[in-house]
């Protein structure tokens, strides 16, 4: 996640956001084509209002992170010549290479979008996990737009946008104000975010936290 230094605190009149479609699983599908049928089925049912559909959505958003976990384990049978017997070796992080392929694919796609925008004179403002913010252009012609895996879509066209930092920004879309701030702020304790107004992302710092066995997580 990053934002151009020259864009910080600037009120940008007219911006749009390009979002990669299930980018991490697009990368897994490309790197491991044997998984393509299962991935395509999961993707096609991600919006179904059923238990299976909800599970599919979770798979698309959670799995690549879990693949980096030590709890992804597998057992390997090995032969120890010295002792002349078999030994079971437990391998942790056994799917980390799949997650690595997903992250590399995502980052390369983001960079290509930025490059394509630059080639058309469209200035990018910021990147997030699987998308980019750029200044509004009415007639853009960029490759790869669509609804399928491996493609991207324009999911926001906003009238006003301002970044405080990479993790804090605000925008107005269709007349509705949207604050985005990672973490909990002092202002969150005073009013819910649906009551925030333009400029409120600058009101109060993000709170830190600590943990005690008696009280659990405590914000300050």
pTM flag (> 0.95):
no
Distance CA(147)–CA(24), nearest Å, equals: 15
Q: What is the mean pLDDT of residues 171-198?
A: 94
Q: Does residue 83 register a pLDDT over 60?
A: no
pLDDT digits (tens, 9 = 90+) for 49-59: 999 999 999 99
pLDDT digits (tens, 9 = 90+) for 127-175: 998 999 999 998 888 999 999 999 999 999 999 999 999 999 999 999 9
Contacts (Cβ under 8 Å, ≥6 apart) of 95: 67, 72
Distance CA(95)–CA(64), nearest Å, equals: 9
> DSSP readout, 12-69?
EEEEEEEEETTHHHHHHHHH-GGGHHHHHHHHHTTT-SSHHHHHHHHHHHHHHHHTTS
Least confident residue range of 32-46, 82-96, 140-154: 82-96
């Amino acid at each position: 996640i990053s934002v151009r230094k020259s864009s910080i605190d600037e009120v940008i009149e007219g911006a749009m956001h390009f979002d990669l479609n299930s980018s991490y699983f697009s990368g897994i599908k490309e790197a491991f084509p044997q998984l393509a049928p299962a991935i395509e089925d999961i993707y096609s049912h991600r919006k179904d209002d059923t238990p299976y559909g909800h599970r599919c959505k979770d798979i698309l958003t959670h799995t690549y992170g879990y693949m980096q976990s030590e709890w992804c384990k597998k057992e390997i049978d090995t032969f120890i010549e010295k002792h002349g017997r078999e030994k079971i070796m437990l391998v942790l992080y056994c799917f980390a290479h799949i997650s690595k392929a997903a992250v590399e694919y995502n980052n390369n796609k983001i960079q290509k979008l930025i490059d394509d925008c630059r080639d058309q004179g469209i200035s990018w403002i910021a990147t997030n996990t699987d998308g980019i913010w750029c200044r509004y252009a009415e007639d853009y012609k960029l490759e790869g737009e669509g609804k399928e895996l491996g493609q991207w879509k324009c999911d926001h066209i906003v009238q006003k946008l301002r970044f405080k930092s990479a993790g804090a920004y605000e925008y107005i879309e269709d007349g509705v104000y949207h604050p985005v701030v990672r973490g909990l702020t002092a202002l969150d304790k005073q009013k819910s975010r649906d009551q925030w107004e333009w400029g409120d992302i600058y009101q109060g710092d993000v709170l830190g936290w600590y943990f005690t066995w008696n009280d659990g997580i405590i914000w300050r």
